[in-house]
């Protein structure tokens, strides 16, 4: 690999009838914090469509696929593999040991994670040893690994947000900000 670390998120155990919203949040968090791809192990076309709609409007590049079994990806991934789990080693200890010049695969679960996942990864990493959320764990871990570079990606969408102290300013991408002068 050359250039900055490319990050893929692997979402395990998605239950379409229960997890649509939280899996979508996993995907949007990955996209917003510098990842290039999410793989959801169970097929769910609604999640894929929802994420692709955000990518179309707010920009990519970002790829999502669903219905891809985890074992081949974990066995063949040519980089560092990290599983986020409350039972793992503290993030603060592991992050300094993760090479910055290799691609990274970050695994998050939904319900009980299969036992072999713990052995197929390089690191089982805890974002604190208390149970919380895959979205929170992913966001904190991505920021710990990348620092402010988590927000450095430029998105090529139809619209963009103009940072604003108050209110909501959204405009077609590339269009000049409205002037305060009248």
The residue ranges that bind ligand SAM (CB under 6 A) are 84-86, 108-110, 112-113, 126-128, 130-134, 137
Longest dimension (CA), the chain: 64
Which residue number, 73 or 86, has a Cβ lying nearer to ligand SAM? 86
Which residue number, 140 or 159, has a Cβ lying nearer to ligand SAM? 140
Q: How far is the CB of 27 from ligand SAM (least distance, A)?
A: 14
Q: How far is the CB of 138 from ligand SAM (least distance, A)?
A: 8
- Euclidean distance between CA atoms 182 and 109, whole angstroms: 53
Q: How far is the CB of 25 from ligand SAM (least distance, A)?
A: 12
Which residue number, 124 or 160, has a Cβ lying nearer to ligand SAM? 124
Q: How far is the CB of 51 from ligand SAM (least distance, A)?
A: 19
């Amino acid at each position: 690999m050359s250039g900055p670390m490319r990050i893929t998120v692997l979402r395990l155990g998605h239950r379409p009838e229960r997890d649509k919203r939280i899996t979508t949040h996993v995907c949007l968090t990955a996209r917003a914090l510098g990842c290039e791809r999410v793989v959801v192990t169970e097929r769910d076309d609604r999640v894929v469509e929802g994420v692709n709609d955000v990518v179309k409007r707010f920009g990519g590049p970002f790829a999502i696929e669903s219905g891809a079994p985890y074992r081949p990806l974990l066995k063949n991934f040519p980089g560092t593999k990290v599983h986020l789990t409350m039972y793992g080693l503290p993030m603060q200890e592991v992050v300094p040991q993760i090479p910055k010049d290799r691609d990274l695969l970050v695994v998050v679960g939904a319900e009980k994670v299969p036992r072999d996942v713990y052995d197929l990864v390089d690191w089982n990493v805890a974002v604190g040893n208390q149970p919380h959320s895959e979205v929170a764990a992913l966001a904190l871990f991505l920021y710990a690994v990348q620092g402010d570079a988590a927000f450095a990606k430029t998105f090529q969408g139809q619209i963009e947000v103009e940072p604003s102290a108050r209110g909501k300013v959204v405009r077609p991408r590339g269009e000049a900000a409205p002037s305060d002068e009248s």
